[in-house]
Amino acid sequence: MMSESNQLSTPRALDQPVADAIFSVMTEGYEFAKKGETAVAGSRMQQAWDMIPEPKLGWDISTIAVLLIAKFYRSIGDYTKAHEWADRFLTLEHLPGDGAPFILKGSIYYEAGDLAAAREWLKKGLEVGRRRAFSGEDPKYLRLVTEPR
């Protein structure tokens, strides 16, 4: 399944054709999800992850792949799997001021209906990454932590 053993300290560049193939399979997953075929979509996302050589988290595409898979599961309402992938995303190295891991976690809680937990995580994302960290995200996440209750 998902092995993090032997994680490299410095990610290596995955050959471009392999990376392209991985992202192509992920795109297929999103397309199946749009058609309501979530089981097939989930298998495509797992297939994409399986295509990443060991150590899974030792490649330049690992971080974005984990993020996209977490967002995929959030988008289809599988919040348990979304949290699993978001937790993995939290363990990866991020640049200082990167609020994305916290915003991702908060957005999953938000979509699952746990607004108290969502507020805590999104607030942390705002503290770490400021408002710019929310660009590209649904504005409702930022509103939750900036507008009065």
Token look-up 């993020």 returns 67
User: 25-34 long-range contacts, Cβ below 8 Å, gap at least 24?
Assistant: 25/51, 26/65, 26/68, 26/69, 26/72, 29/72, 30/72, 30/75, 33/72, 33/75, 33/76
pLDDT digits (tens, 9 = 90+) for 40-84: 999 999 999 999 999 999 999 999 999 999 999 999 999 999 999
Residues in the chain: 149
pLDDT digits (tens, 9 = 90+) for 75-125: 999 999 999 999 999 999 888 999 999 999 999 999 999 999 999 999 999
| Interatomic CA distance for residues 78 and 20, integer angstroms | 26
Average pLDDT of the chain? 92
Token look-up 């108290």 returns 116
**Backbone CA torsion sign across 69, 73, 75, 79:** negative
Identify the CA nearest to 103 among candidates 116, 90, 88, 92: 90
The model's pTM: 0.89
Identify the CA nearest to 62 among candidates 102, 105, 26, 109: 26
Token look-up 């699952």 returns 112
